Structure 1
Amino acid sequence: MASVTAPLRLAFRASDRPEALEALERLSSLYPSVPVAEADVIVALGGDGFMLETLHRTLDRPVAVYGMNRGSVGFLMNDYAEECLPERIAAAGRACIHPLQMDARSEEADLTSALAINEVSLLRQTRQSAKLRILVDGQIRLDELSCDGCMLATPAGSTAYNLSAHGPIIPLDAQVLALTPISAFRPRRWRGALLSHRARVRFEVLEADKRPVSAVADSVEVRGVKAVEVYERRDIALTMLFDAGRSFEERVLAEQFTA
């Protein structure tokens, strides 16, 4: 006797944009749904920011997320369509991503830890440029970087803030991280580096009293940091689903040939 595959249990989440809330109402009337805690797949309705928020909510219970674009930016989302949604999800390809751990120590010696799916960035807080020392695996690689900031980006985040700062686009399976300066002043010719995903990066803030710096891991910000360590959490895996023929890998490749 052939085995019968149980239907996927779907949960719907929407951002606060009117078009996302309208889509939530429509899809909830068309397809049965369950609470998020019981779902096999979460259908996220919104933009890329809402996708990141939804992925953060799955950290304590890994569950696949299928996004549909009802926001302004939809690089991480599938096209919105109401027809045959369970079939689309069942045929979708999977993209597994690993977040970055940020351990930021402030001027008061407090330690704040957070996870970042896109990037961890250090940014100047005042008109004064930031001065950073950068160590990779305990070895000083840049003794002093004068800049607006610097970031370490994941492959999934390489097409976001990292790309706008002229960092490289990274295929999801490349197992590298992008270390990208933001408006570097000195050294003038340094454009960043590609690091192994196993690398541990430490940023030390120089002249912290005169040139305060904040550290941001996605939506978590710590102001007045003195040192920040960043490394990949390979023990945490988050799953996004993409329509057949529209894989995340294909989108990343196509983005590199966009004028």
Structure 2
Amino acid sequence: MSTNNPVLSHHISSQFNEDLQDVNTKFMAMGGLVEQQVANSIHALLDTDAALAVEVQFQDNVVNRMETEIDEALTLILARRHPAAIDLRMVIAMSKANTDLERIGDEAAKIARIAQNLCEEGGSPRGYMETRHIGNQVRVMIHDALDAFARLDVDQALRVLLADADIDREYQSATRTLMTYMIEDPRHISRVINVMWVLRSLERIGDHARNISEQVIYMVKGFDVRHTSVKEIEEKVQER
């Protein structure tokens, strides 16, 4: 997060800026870890790698600890610096995005647990192609959302919102396909259902990446775009 950005040029004190930079560095480190967790959980499933699945679940403890540390740091900033206007928006946005990152980590751990079970029980006959495809898209969304947050890039944030709409459509299509398969061939229902839970977790990860991008728009533009259609958000952004 560059202090050369005109949006950040009026911080109430250099100490506030330093405090915010410190917590932002930790936030981005947590984001990088969570992004890797998602990638590793998908690899564990697709490559039948039980050891990697266990590692992802273990690393979730690290993510949880980082979330707590970031929350505590942001609370101290609020108590000591009493930020207002955009400074306050940045603290609030980072706090909310911090929660979304932790929940992405939780979903990655869920995928890893399912991957571990499928390693032990045997793989599913269907659903891996959809998992690979949606998984790759979701990983890009996380990366782009964090990049938008770091650079306060509203245009990038909007692209993440559009990508989330695509993920939702593909998730629904994949779910219908797998439901049809189970009806036609019920022999592997439990394994296919496990893959459907993976796809559900990936769809939720996309939702959390969207939430982070919405916080970027809140920081820069000053309005809350949660529960708002992408078209309405685009119109609002263009107005200001």
TM-score, normalising length: structure 1: 0.28
Higher relative contact order (Cα pairs below 8 Å, separated by 6+ residues): 2
Report which of the two has the higher share of strand: 1
TM-score, normalising length: structure 2: 0.30
